[in-house]
A and B are shown apart, each in its own frame.
Chain A
């Protein structure tokens, strides 16, 4: 067994390659939670009580957050699809 292969095997066994990826996933998940919580708060604001300018701002913020949530979920899906653990689970199913 070559040294490179040995190191690769140890890395795989200890899951060291996924270390960065799992950190990234956690960070995106945390951000998504915050964005969703913010969206929920904005959704609950009674629009009738707002003036025209405030309504405009609210709509703009909602549009941005919705887009960011979509973006975040897409990134998360990509990270999950590259994760060997998930692909294994999918195969088993």
Chain B
């Protein structure tokens, strides 16, 4: 309801403002052009973020100070904390970085935004900035029309900067002309009342424009022509810093719980810093004057003094917050928990797939891979229970002979029910999400995505084969015929060994170990195939099992073989990251098996 009223109200107020004041129109056009410039700039940087920015983000955020540094540098370069916040939420959503690193990046981005105030106060207001804007716009737009992605990106960056400069120019001109007709300075309010009113105005302006950068530039433009008082400008700056959290809050709406926690951390940080700044306002003004004197800023240069205040205020906030980052993260993890839908409690749902990770191909791919691992975790549980084995025994070092003797249940578990609750939904979501992500992915990612889809299919096939296998497995494991019982127990033992091997692969970070384990699994699968190794023929020939038993054993060994090959194929795709060509192939497996036979 509120949303329906909000937009028309804003448009009507603006239209009325344009009608009664052409100067207001010029200032508003300046803000609009500035915001458009920021969108173009973000678009330009996105063109270059096809891997590079993401790789840097992933590698340079393992420690808190690095995260803060990354946030600062990228925001200073791109002149937009919005893109950095959105990327950070996307990385959090995909599970590529932790919440602590995310908070670090946001803290750094907060400091990074201060460079905008310095650029505007030190350069934008001093020179005729529009003369730089025109050539940038012309070159920028020409480059945007080029086919090459990098040229297009460069074009957007140039055009973005051009629009930013042009916007600043119009805001400055508008305020100067405005001064002749209306004196906004007469509306200034002093004291604590003024402080709170202007903080509120700063919040509102930033929420509407969704950019603290634009608000601060607007404040500086108004301050430079004396349309607002220095004290009110300080309050507006504090307000802008609270209002800027709206970007992360909006971005987190489509994210998972960690994205929401990050937005909450941003809000808590900015509000706390604002409260501290209000409490020690007088001391801060004195400190700003002292710093300004020290670096040679004249006492009446309020625009540069505002840049000093902006920096002091934000750096102070970060310094105060650093020791409490871990505590804040723990607090948010306890307070903000994923919502549980009671009616669908037993239905497992996706953990990593949400719209926020669609921001870049890398995060989308990482999220799909993590979700596939989640699907495998569920499949692992179903397969072990389908084999009537306890999961904890597979994960332990218990000898496999004992693992198969320690039964999970006296009766057969309902695999169909388990499949509907823990596999089907997630599998469907993965395929659906992959299709969505694929439409935005460059060609180099498509092949990898196709393989991951195959890995998902392999997992589902393995679960379905376990269901087929389970029927006779329960029957013959209690048979009085020792030979058939032993064969089925061996089948369970071989599959238990494979599941243990894959578990070791999932927890190993050593490439050589993963490759060795996978190769071993491949060899064992071929060796234990009782049709190929002649064991089945032997049992039939010697009359040790009945015809019915032989048929069941033949079919079920086929299922067991399929489960093994599907799970190995899945592990090859999901857990071998770099040198997949080093995995031994079918011919080489035969070569090794022949070597053994010869010996």
Binding site for B on A (CB under 8 A): 27-28, 31, 34-35, 38, 59-61, 63-65, 67-68, 71-72, 75
Q: A31-B578, A60-B596, A61-B516 are in contact. List 14 more A-B contacts (CB 8 A).
A: A28-B582, A31-B511, A31-B512, A31-B515, A34-B511, A38-B516, A60-B523, A60-B592, A64-B516, A64-B584, A67-B591, A72-B579, A75-B581, A75-B582
Q: How far is the CB of A92 from chain B (nearest CB, A)?
A: 31
Question: Number of A-B pairs whose CB atoms are under 8 Å?
Answer: 51
Contacts of A75 in B (CB 8 A): 579, 581-582
B411 interfacial by beta-carbon distance below 8 Å: no
Least distance between B142 CB and chain A CB atoms (Å): 14
Residues of A within 8 A of B595 (CB): 63
Contact check, B581 vs A64: say whether CB atoms are below 8 A apart: no
CB–CB B516/A65 < 8 A? yes
Cα of A35 to Cα of B173 in the assembled complex, Å: 69
List, in ascending order, chain B residues with CB within 8 A of A34's CB.
Answer: 510-512
Given A27-B579, A28-B579, A72-B582; A64-B510 close (CB under 8 Å): no
Q: How far is the CA of A4 from the CA of B108 in the complex (A)?
A: 40
Interface of A is mostly: helix
Residue from A35, A64, A72 whose CB has the most chain B CB atoms within 10 Å: A64
Can you list 30 A-B pairs with a CB-CB distance of less than 8 A? A27-B578, A27-B579, A28-B579, A28-B582, A31-B511, A31-B515, A34-B510, A59-B596, A59-B599, A60-B520, A60-B523, A60-B596, A61-B516, A61-B520, A63-B592, A63-B595, A63-B596, A64-B516, A64-B520, A64-B584, A64-B592, A65-B516, A68-B515, A68-B516, A68-B519, A68-B582, A68-B584, A71-B584, A75-B579, A75-B581
Q: Across the interface, which residues of B come within 8 angstroms of A35, CB to CB?
A: 512
Nearest CB in chain A to that of B511: its residue: A31
Bound CA–CA A31/B595 (angstroms): 25
For the complex, what is the distance from the CA of A9 to the CA of B578, rounded to whole Å?
30
**A27-B578, A31-B579, A75-B581 as given contacts; A64 in contact with B523, CB under 8 Å:** yes
Our pick among B511, B512, B516, B582 for the contact of A71 (Cβ within 8 Å) is B582
Most chain A CB atoms below 10 A, which of B579, B592, B595, B599: B579
Is the beta-carbon distance between B596 and A67 smaller than 8 angstroms?
no
Q: Contact string, B221-250, partner A, CB cutoff 8 A, digits 1/0?
A: 000000000000000000000000000000
Are the CB atoms of A64 and B596 closer together than 8 Å?
no
- Give the CA-CA distance A72 to B583 in the complex, in Å: 10
- Give Cα A38–Cα B515 distance, bound, in whole angstroms: 12
Kindly identify which residue among A31, A59, A60, A63 contacts B582, using a CB–CB cutoff of 8 Å.
A31
Give A69 Cβ to nearest chain B Cβ, in Å.
10
For the complex, give the distance between the alpha carbons of A28 and B582 in Å: 9
Q: A28 CA to B515 CA in the complex, in Å?
A: 13
B511 touches A67 (CB 8 A): no
Query: CA separation between A27 and B520, bound complex, in Å?
Result: 22
The 6 nearest A-B residue pairs measured at CB: A34-B512, A64-B519, A63-B592, A27-B578, A35-B512, A31-B511
Interface residue B588 (Cβ < 8 Å from any Cβ of A): yes
B259 to A: closest C-beta gap in Å: 32
Among candidates A38, A60, A67, residue contacting B512 with C-beta atoms closer than 8 Å: A38
> In whole angstroms, how far apart are the Cα atoms of A64 and B593 in the complex?
11
**A27 cross-chain contacts in B, Cβ below 8 A:** 578-579
- Residue in chain A with minimal CB distance to B591: A67
A80 to chain B, nearest CB (A): 16
Residues of B within 8 A of A31 (CB): 511-512, 515, 578-579, 582
* Min CB gap B224→A, angstroms: 43
Tell me the B542-599 residues at the A interface (CB within 8 Å): 578-579, 581-582, 584, 588, 591-592, 595-596, 599
Inter-chain contacts of B581 with A (CB < 8 A) = 71, 75
Query: Which A residues are in CB contact (< 8 Å) with B516?
Result: 38, 61, 64-65, 68
- Could you tell me the distance in whole angstroms from the C-beta of B293 to the nearest C-beta in chain A? 48
State in angstroms the CA–CA spacing of A14 and B523 once bound together: 45
Closest Cβ of chain B to A35, distance in Å, is 5
A71 to B587, CA, bound (A): 13
Question: CB-nearest residue of chain B relative to A57?
Answer: B520
**Residues in B whose Cβ lies below 8 Å from that of A28:** 579, 582
Asked if B584 contacts A67 (CB within 8 A), the reply is yes
The 0/1 profile, CB within 8 Å of A marked 1, for residues 320-343 of chain B is 000000000000000000000000
Q: How far is the CB of A50 from chain B (nearest CB, A)?
A: 15
Query: Within the assembled complex, what's the spacing in Å between the Cα atoms of A64 and B581?
Result: 14
**Inside 8 A of B519's CB, which chain A residues have their CB?**
64, 68
Who on chain B is nearest to A34 by CB?
Answer: B512
Residues from 507 to 523 in B contacting A, C-beta threshold 8 Å: 510-512, 515-516, 519-520, 523
Residues of A within 8 A of B588 (CB): 67
